Amino acid sequence: MERTLSIIKPDGVEKKLIGEIIRRFEAAGIRIAAMKMLRLTKAEAEGFYAVHRGKPFFESLTDFMSSGPIVVMVLEGEDVIRKNRELMGATNYKEAKPGTIRADFASDIEKNIVHGSDAPETARTEIAYFFSEMDIC
């Protein structure tokens, strides 16, 4: 059993895709083990995306991520890190496979609807950024 962090980004919430995205996770056999809605401050968004500090899109990305409410979830299941990344599609929606969340709903390389951890170590760190062990069912 594996865990990963999923975020429905401000554009996904704005486009009323919360239900559709959760539906896709559940239809794929993924369990939602924790979930909450919140709005990141600019500083919190910078902390979350600290690995991207110094990249040309860092300012814009952290402005975007703190621009409105997000939904953060802990997903649980076998091979869930890879399965979630597959459901999400490539970072650039133009390269995402048809039927993936980003191919279906994103319209911008930055405003790409969802975030998902990319490896077990980052999943652990990212989950701990938002949830304590007591929050996870």
Residue 57 is assigned to a ligand binding site: yes
Residue 30 near residue 76, CB atoms below 8 Å: yes
Q: Which stretch binds ligand GDP (CB under 6 A): 39-47, 57-65, 69-77, 121-129?
A: 57-65
Residue 46 near residue 53, CB atoms below 8 Å: yes
DSSP string computed for 86-109: HHH--SSGGGSPTTSHHHHH--SS
Residue 9 is assigned to a ligand binding site: yes
Q: Which stretch binds ligand GDP (CB under 6 A): 19-27, 33-41, 107-115, 127-135?
A: 107-115
Joined together, the tokens standing for residue 91 give 């970072």
Residue 17 near residue 7, CB atoms below 8 Å: no
110 lines the binding site for ligand GDP (CB under 6 A): yes
- The span from the first CA to the last CA of the chain, in angstroms, equals 14
Integer Cα distance of 135 and 118 in angstroms: 22
Binding residue (CB under 6 A) for ligand GDP from 96, 113, 115, 123: 115
Which CB atom, from 44 or from 118, has the smaller least distance to ligand GDP?
Answer: 118
Annotation marks residue 115 as catalytic = yes
Identity of residue 47: G
Q: Which stretch binds ligand GDP (CB under 6 A): 26-34, 72-80, 108-116, 120-128?
A: 108-116
Binding residue positions? 9, 57, 85, 91, 102, 112
Catalytic residues: 115
Output the known binding site for ATP. 9, 57, 85, 91, 102, 112
